[in-house]
Amino acid sequence: MTDFPAAGDTLPDIAMESPDGGTVKPSDFAGKKLVLFFYPKDNTPGCTTEAKDFTALKGAFDGAGVELLGISKDSAKKHQNFIAKHDLTTPLATDAEEGGLSDTLGIWTEKKMYGKTYMGMVRTTYLIGADGKIAQIWNKVKVKGHAEEVLAAAKAL
């Protein structure tokens, strides 16, 4: 069993692809509070709701000095379509590389559904303080009310 980063640890600084073909990594947000929300797949019901909820509260996060970044293994092209289809204003990133951030955090893992085993993303959110340290982790997130809960925690940080 690997020890994965926990509250109080520094988040690994691993680059991911942005929908425009650039790169984004946690250190790009140095000195700012940051919410990273990892979700399984673009355009699925729970993931769409979660991304729309964070988008709806983006102004409040901005007002609290908190940056947002949604992350899945979907391609940059899929992210572009997801953003356009749902008018998302929350930035997204692709963490498709093996050994990427979600692998390092231990949230890209073996899952089971209907007797089948497959690799998938565990819906997880990280709140990072302006000091670059993990302030709080939400594991196996239930979408309803989650963005509001994260906003309250971020404001209190």
Catalytic residue among 47, 51, 83, 105: 47
Q: Is residue 52 annotated as a catalytic residue, yes or no?
A: no
- Name the nearest CA neighbour of 68 among 76, 60, 58: 58
CA angle 23, 157, 38 (to 5 degrees): 40
* Most distant CA atoms of the chain, gap in Å: 45
Backbone region of residue 81 per phi and psi (left: phi > 0; alpha: psi in -120 to 50; beta: other values)? alpha
72 Cβ contact partners less than 8 Å away, ≥ 6 residues apart: 38, 39, 40, 41, 42, 47, 79, 92, 94, 95, 121
Active site amino acids:
47
